[in-house]
Structure 1
Amino acid sequence: MKIETTLKDWETDQEVRWCPGCGDYAILKAVQRTLPQLGADPANTVFISGIGCSSRFPYYVESYGFHTIHGRAPAFATGAKLANPDLDIWLVTGDGDGLSIGGNHLMHVLRRNVNMQIMLFNNEIYGLTKGQASPTSREGTKSPSTPIGSYDHPARPAAFALGAGARFVGRGFDVSKHLPDVLKAAHAHEGAAFIEIFQNCIVYNKDVFNDFAAPKGAEDQQLWLENGKPMLFAKDARGIALNRDTLNLEVVDVVDGDWEAAGVIVHDVTNRSIAHMLVEMPFGPFPMALGVLYDDPRPTFEAAVLAEKAAASAGKEANLAKLLGQGQTWTVDGTAQDPV
């Protein structure tokens, strides 16, 4: 049931404590502004997090919440959803919390398709524990744990989500005016909706996303996807086409607005193959694909669990005493003699 609230109704009395300039502030405000537009009810909304800078989130949203243990937020969220399927659950995690110790749990909540919104804040670093390289840190990243430079190939959160069977994958970044639209689309999706949010760590990985996510001047490097619309960027002067010979994506120039003649693809959110290609596009030669990359619902995990429970209990009497007394039983009458 939708109710009327304002941004103030979603703000707590807790002092918001992130580093000055942290991208988490912008994400928090985007969520708090989005919730009233969804008609969300604070009494029916739950924010669940693990460990990390992002995981302070439940303290700052006036709703129910759990600040759980490292990497295990998906398990807690799954339990909450099964206990009360009517709850509106938002899972908050980071690239370290969700893809390192929590990668196994995140994979299973996605493949099971538990109905919730999963926001993964990706700053490509361990911010809370003082700047070590994380699973998403780029090759060559210098940090306390990789002083000469990381040689790990970074994980791609959106590719991970698709590979785990996610039915909704979106992308945004902390200060983008379009982030609320991605959050709304994720909330409308029935099932596990995964949103990767690029987030600026002002202390340990400052401006690492500036090439495409700077507050001003990076718009030409952003490909904002919209279902049924051509994949255009750089003020519609360039687009993404599929090379029919190599079956690879490529950047093409659009002359006089004729994107069809340039072969630009029309975005179809149900096309899983193209979604995989979009999340794997190397930035630099290509723009950063943002918005809703994939959205193709299927029945949810909790719906299947409830249906199985209903089928198993159909026609049966809920009688605990009878259950305990059935089968092989015996009575001790107090007259038995001790063995000699």
Structure 2
Amino acid sequence: MAETTTGNGDGSTTPVAAGNRQSGSGSPAIAEAPREKLTKKAITADHPTWCPGCGDFAVLAAFYKFLEKRNLEHEKIVTLAGIGCSSRFPYFVNGHGAHFIHGRAVPLASGISLARPDLHVFLFGGDGDGFSIGGNHLDHGARKNINMTYFIMDNFVYGLTKKQTSPTSPIGFKSKTDPTGAIDQPVNPMKKLISGGATFIARTHAANVAHMMQLIERAFDHQGFSVIECLSECVEFFPDVFDPANPKKGGSFEVIQEKKWDGTPEDELRHDVTDEVAAYKLATLPFPGVFGVFY
């Protein structure tokens, strides 16, 4: 506790804890008011404007729950975003925030995190913002490993510009920019992030809020550049694309079994999250792949 001094009348001084100071009139010290618990009502800024059924609603709900559970200092929450439907996040979270052009949220977040390490910096964006138009900033942000948590809501399509091919669109996907079907090999987010140097890399699905919550907490606790790719369905321009990963629609949501280092034979078959090569192998699995912490 910080200390100050008080005069004794004889020229000497006595140290006094800052929290125990009294006024000259002898009145009792003023107690510091307890911090109010952070609630969803306090952190909700505006009504989301996404299309009904958009997967981004689930990501926002999970983020609200995370903030409430951790009871973070309201004045220390920072949300930043680039361009895209998912990048509207700062409008819906009551706190410090800003909306930038493609990719620029990463360099600004870097400056904020370095200048004010006491702040909680969260980034939000989509596959276009993170893996294409603003992709170079993601690469260098991962390489520098500055402390922040980045949510990439991947819907395999440019939704804000009304159905254009995105860097993660599968071959054959027909859009306004590829009316005969996409011909480019799609970006593999996990492979890109692993090779780029991010120090916490995870993957989840908007249909599984409980799993998403677990990953958000682990990403937040990680000291460094943490990224979560969340498959977030665009119901307007690419519906049902993630059904193979949604058990509610007959798909399979396979969670990575992490190594526990318990000495059991079955532990030899579990994934070592500190093994970059093993993480890269998991990233090469065919769609829908696996979910959880890769590295």
Scaled by the length of structure 1, what TM-score is found?
0.72
Distance between the aligned counterparts of 2:88 and 2:234, measured in 1?
15
Distance between the aligned counterparts of 1:169 and 1:140, measured in 2?
28
1:281 maps to which residue? 285
Distance between the aligned counterparts of 2:36 and 2:270, measured in 1?
36
1:292 maps to which residue? 293
Distance between the aligned counterparts of 2:94 and 2:229, measured in 1?
23
Question: Displacement of 1:140 after TM fit?
Answer: 0.4
Question: Displacement of 1:168 after TM fit?
Answer: 0.6
1:226–1:46 distance in 2 versus 1, CA, 3 Å: farther
Distance between the aligned counterparts of 2:214 and 2:41, measured in 1?
20
Structure 2 residue runs of 5 or longer lacking an equivalent are 1-34
1:76 maps to which residue? 108
1:130–1:214 distance in 2 versus 1, CA, 3 Å: farther
**Are 2:191 and 1:190 aligned?**
no
Retained in 2: the 8 A contact 1:185–1:292?
no
Distance between the aligned counterparts of 2:206 and 2:158, measured in 1?
17
What is the aligned-residue identity percentage?
41
Give, as a single letter, the amino acid of the residue that structure 2 aligns with 1:191: G
2:89 maps to which residue? 57
Q: Residue 182 of structure 1: SS of its match in structure 2?
A: helix
Match of 1:19 among 45, 51, 54: 51
Give, as a single letter, the amino acid of the residue that structure 2 aligns with 1:81: S
1:7–1:142 distance in 2 versus 1, CA, 3 Å: same
Retained in 2: the 8 A contact 1:113–1:166?
yes
1:194–1:93 distance in 2 versus 1, CA, 3 Å: same
Match of 2:244 among 196, 211, 214: 211
Q: How does 1:27-46 map to 2 (within 5 A)?
A: 27-46=59-78
Q: Residue 59 of structure 2: SS of its match in structure 1?
A: helix
Retained in 2: the 8 A contact 1:110–1:192?
yes
Distance between the aligned counterparts of 1:204 and 1:169, measured in 2?
27
Structure 1 residue runs of 5 or longer lacking an equivalent are 231-258, 295-340
Question: Displacement of 1:207 after TM fit?
Answer: 1.1
State which drifts further: 79-88 or 185-194: 79-88
- Tell me how large the CA RMSD over aligned residues is: 2.0
Give, as a single letter, the amino acid of the residue that structure 1 aligns with 2:250: G
Distance between the aligned counterparts of 2:180 and 2:249, measured in 1?
32
Give, as a single letter, the amino acid of the residue that structure 1 aligns with 2:82: G
1:275–1:54 distance in 2 versus 1, CA, 3 Å: same
Question: Displacement of 1:118 after TM fit?
Answer: 0.6
1:116–1:273 distance in 2 versus 1, CA, 3 Å: same
Q: Residue 233 of structure 2: SS of its match in structure 1?
A: coil
Superposed structure 1 runs of 4+ greater than 6 Å apart: none
> Which whole-Å deviations, capped at 9, do the CAs of 1:43-83 have from their partners, x for residues lacking one?
10100000100110001011111111122111111121122
Distance between the aligned counterparts of 1:278 and 1:3, measured in 2?
43
